[in-house]
């Protein structure tokens, strides 16, 4: 059973935190954490693929509205959502997961979550940065920027998990 | 037909994905053409309102710096006010006021949103068409050039920062008026590149780069930055010059929007003379 209310609130929190906090922060000139993809990462396992794609599209569009990049985040987020089921399948081919599980460190373990989010966030960032630059002449620079930002985003996402999503397990 | 339906059913996820991506790409393409696209989204009253509220709160954190800056500017203004000058005998000379026709009008505005770490950066400022701001006006801060207005709504305007793929500012060296152009290579918000300076020109580190005034947007002699690194690639006729920008894009909060009151006339004349 999916808790819809919680996810709708998380949707808006992700957009506003991205726009008001993370768009204002930059480490060392060009490191850009795109925290909002957190929402796409943590949607429950049994979310229907259609819902997954469409909410991701809306999420990207929401961020776009504020950052003057109309369509870019939407395209990257949709691509990420499209890849998500494939990555989950690839990573958990031997492992079963229960219906109520979310792809979190709490439920899946650190190593699983790290590879899962690393692949997806990297895909998202590469797509986003290449759409933004829109030319291949700065190929290595763009790749470098995408890679560095991926690490920043991952760091923030993993910290968020330990801060806000870890309580239940201890009981 | 049944086969087609079966195909659709089998790959519906992929098709839905394609549909959404096509929508996104259409949005990007329409928007990338930044001159024609009215930047509805950036200058939209909703996002502007959210940013205004947020800036209203965060502004308190920089009150101290703002005050310091204000006192500094106040002192500068005091320096040029009539009281600061020795009044000479007015009978001995005469000033013909019609010699000075006003060309540039400055409007102060506050930056309510900005980015500096993207490849293409924009700022949003809290003055719009209601206050007379229009497209193609220049924006400067108190220590240098900032960007060009590319979209306006009623109360907000969107400014293409100097830190943008498409920005190209006509510039010159202060010491010998050698003309060049300043572009941004996308790495570091503190540095930009000065192009088109031929290799016979004498150039040193620390030379001042200012606007040329040939663009109809910025007045001449506005500070852009200072030369930081000069290289002459073998076999090239032009220098590779890195300049340190005088505007610190990471801290600016206020700026002045410059209206060129004669821009229309200049553009009209240029159109007449280049068409044939």
pLDDT, position B82? 64
Q: Is B269 exposed, middle or buried (0-12, 13-18, 19+ CB in 10 A)?
A: exposed
**For residue range B31-55, what is the model confidence (pLDDT) as tens digits?**
665 544 444 444 566 677 777 777 7
Give residue B275's pLDDT band: very low, low, confident or very high (50, 70, 90).
low
Bigger pLDDT: A95 vs B136? B136
Which alpha helices (H) appear in chain B, and where do they start and end?
Answer: 2-10, 12-32, 45-58, 63-80, 263-275
* pLDDT average, residue stretch B242-261: 89
How much is the pLDDT for B224?
Answer: 93
Q: State the ipTM, two decimals.
A: 0.76
Residue B215: the pLDDT is 83
Does the distance separating the beta carbons of B32 and A74 come in below 8 Å?
no
Q: How far is CA B139 from the centre of its chain?
A: 5
Confidence of residue B148 (pLDDT cuts 50, 70, 90): very high
Q: What is the mean pLDDT of chain B?
A: 81
| Chain A residues in contact with B186 (beta carbon < 8 A) | 133, 138, 141
How far is residue B234 from each of residues B199, B204, B237, B239, measured CA to CA in Å?
11, 18, 9, 10
In chain A (171 residues long), the average pLDDT of successive 10-residue segments reads 80 89 73 88 85 91 82 91 88 65 79 90 91 76 88 90 68 41
Residue A157 contacts B, CB cutoff 8 Å: no
Q: How far is A93 from chain B (nearest CA, A)?
A: 20
Show the domains of chain B with their CATH numbers.
169-245 (2.40.10.350)
Res B216 pLDDT > 60: yes
What's the pLDDT score for residue A66? 81
Domain A4-170 adopts which CATH fold?
Answer: Arp2/3 complex 21 kDa subunit ARPC3 (1.10.1760)
The more confidently predicted of residues A103 and B122 is B122
Q: How far is it, in rounded angstroms, from Cα B59 to Cα B30?
A: 34
Q: What average pLDDT does the segment B19-28 reach?
A: 85
Q: How far is B193 from chain A (nearest CA, A)?
A: 16
What pLDDT does residue B42 have?
Answer: 47
With a pLDDT cut of 90, the percent of chain B lying above it is 17
Pairs across A and B, CB distance < 8 A:
97
Q: Which residues contact B43 (CB under 8 A, 6 or more apart)?
A: B124, B128, B151, B152, B153, B156, B157, B158
Q: Which residues of B touch A65 (CB under 8 A)?
A: 41, 44, 46-47
- 3-state helix vs strand vs coil in chain B, percent to 5: 30, 30, 40
pLDDT at residue number A121 = 94
């Amino acid at each position: 059973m999916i808790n819809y209310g919680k996810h709708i609130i998380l949707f808006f929190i992700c957009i506003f935190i991205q726009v008001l906090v993370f768009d204002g922060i930059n480490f060392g000139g060009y490191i850009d954490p795109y925290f909002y993809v957190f929402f796409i990462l943590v949607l429950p396992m049994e979310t229907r693929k259609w819902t997954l794609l469409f909410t991701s599209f809306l999420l990207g569009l929401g961020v776009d509205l504020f950052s003057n990049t109309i369509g870019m985040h939407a395209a990257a987020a949709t691509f990420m959502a499209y890849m998500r089921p494939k990555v989950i399948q690839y990573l958990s081919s031997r492992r079963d997961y229960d219906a109520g599980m979310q792809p979190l460190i709490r439920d899946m373990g650190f190593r699983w979550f790290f590879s899962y989010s690393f692949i997806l966030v990297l895909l998202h960032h590469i797509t986003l940065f290449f759409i933004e630059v829109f030319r291949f002449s700065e190929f290595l620079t763009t790749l470098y920027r995408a890679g560095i930002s991926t690490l920043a985003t991952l760091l923030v996402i993993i910290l968020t998990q330990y801060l806000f999503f870890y309580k239940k397990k201890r009981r | 037909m049944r086969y087609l339906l079966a195909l659709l059913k089998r790959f519906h996820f992929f098709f839905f994905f394609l549909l959404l991506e096509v929508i996104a790409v259409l949005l990007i393409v329409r928007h990338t053409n930044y001159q024609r696209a009215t930047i509805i989204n950036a200058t939209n009253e909703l996002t502007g309102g959210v940013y205004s509220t947020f800036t209203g709160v965060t502004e308190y954190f920089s009150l101290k710096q703002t005050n310091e800056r204000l006192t500094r500017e106040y002192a500068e203004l005091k320096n040029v006010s009539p009281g600061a000058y020795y009044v000479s005998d007015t009978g001995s000379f005469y000033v013909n006021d019609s010699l000075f026709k006003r060309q540039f009008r400055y409007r102060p505005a506050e930056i309510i949103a900005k980015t500096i770490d993207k490849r293409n950066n924009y700022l949003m400022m809290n003055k719009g068409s209601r206050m007379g701001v229009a497209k193609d006006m220049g924006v400067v801060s108190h220590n240098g050039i900032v960007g060009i207005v590319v979209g306006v709504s009623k109360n907000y305007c969107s400014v293409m920062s100097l830190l943008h793929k498409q920005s190209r500012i006509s510039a010159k060296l202060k010491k010998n008026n050698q003309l060049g152009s300043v572009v941004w290579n996308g790495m570091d918000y503190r540095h930009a590149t000065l192009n088109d300076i031929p290799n016979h020109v004498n150039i040193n580190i620390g030379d001042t780069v200012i606007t040329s005034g040939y663009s109809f947007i910025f007045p001449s002699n506005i500070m852009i930055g200072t030369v930081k690194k000069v290289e002459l690639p073998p076999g090239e006729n032009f220098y590779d010059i890195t300049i340190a920008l005088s505007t610190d894009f990471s801290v600016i909060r206020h700026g002045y929007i410059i209206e060129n009151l004669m821009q229309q006339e200049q553009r009209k004349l240029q159109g007449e003379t280049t068409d044939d």
